[in-house]
Amino acid sequence: MASFWEKISVNGAEMDMYASVPSSSAGFSAPYPAVLVAQHATGVDEFIQDICDRLAAEGYAAVAPNLYHRHSEEAIAASANGGPRPSPGALLSDPDIVADINAAMDWLLNHDAVQSDRIGVTGFCMGGRVAWLAAASNPNFKAVVPYYGGNLMTTWGAGQTPPFDLADDINCPMLFHFGEIDANPSQDDMQKLDAELSRLGKDHTFHTYPDADHAFMNPAGGRYNEAAAVASWPRTLEFFAQHLNG
């Protein structure tokens, strides 16, 4: 496995993107299926990089674009000074998110080491929302796995349509992981999402993990739930294997 940072252009701006690719010594050879990993609220940090590395160890080219690239200085300053970190909804705008995701997708589609017809997306926390929005906005995704993605019924920034209302544009299978005691998305939210996807005839599978809260996958966070993390990750890998590996 090899990991590195790329710089890609988004509407004339420069965006950093973490990338991790499989190792030939582990028996993998290019071109690889790929997974875009949407960051959580604290950015493309050690947790998100580790997710990319874990996917690369399974044979996927994984990339995580820095969606804060337009406002990273403000976000870093708030964190470094011990103050409250601005909420993702205050930093990000849905049209910008879509532009960033599309730029990362274009990079994958045009890379010789990537199988352009086998690209999925996953995301954690705000990244779960981004993953839903990505699947609804870019038809090249073949599978989507949101982890506890909240705020799906609201717009961010200049967005005009909540991701929830874009569900009909999602045309790839979905696997969604929920924490039982999470408030956003709550179990009521899960039922609304399930009902809408069922109404639209969308291929989806939902899993709820007992006693798990938001951010249950992150070992560095205060809400890490080992049982939920251990149960959900193999399901994610099996799902990607089914839909990206054929």
Show the 3-state SS of 30-92.
CCEEEEEEECECCECCHHHHHHHHHHHHCCCEEEEECCCCCCHHHHHHHHHCCCCCCCHHHHC
Task: State the Cα–Cα distance between residues 50 and 32, nearest whole angstrom.
Answer: 18
Q: Give me the catalytic one of 125, 177, 189, 204.
A: 125
Nearest residue to 122 via CA among 220, 10, 33, 197: 33
Question: How far from chain centre, in Å, is Cα 154?
Answer: 18
Q: What sections of 68-199 are H helices per DSSP? A: 72-80, 88-91, 94-109, 126-137, 187-199
Tokens of 18: 């973490």
Whether residue 69 lies in the annotated active site: no
Give me the helix-helix angle, 126-137 and 94-109, nearest 10°: 70
186-208 tens-digit pLDDT: 999 999 999 999 999 999 999 99
Is 208 strand, coil or helix? strand
| pTM of the predicted model over 0.85 | yes
Q: Give me the catalytic one of 100, 182, 189, 213.
A: 182
- Give the pLDDT score at 187: 98
Per-residue pLDDT of the chain (246 residues; tens, 9 = 90+): 799 999 999 999 999 999 999 998 888 999 999 999 999 999 999 999 999 999 999 999 999 999 999 975 555 445 444 456 678 888 899 999 999 999 999 999 999 999 999 999 999 999 999 999 999 999 999 999 999 999 999 999 999 999 999 999 999 999 999 999 999 999 999 999 999 999 999 999 999 999 999 999 999 999 999 999 999 999 999 999 999 996
80-116 tens-digit pLDDT: 444 566 788 888 999 999 999 999 999 999 999 999 9
Whether residue 182 lies in the annotated active site: yes
Task: State the Cα–Cα distance between residues 90 and 101, nearest whole angstrom.
Answer: 18
Nearest residue to 54 via CA among 25, 28, 29, 21: 21
- Give the pLDDT score at 75: 52
Whether residue 172 lies in the annotated active site: no
Spell 129-140 as b/e; 16+ CB within 10 A means b: bbbbbbbbbbeb
Q: Give me the catalytic one of 111, 204, 214, 243.
A: 214
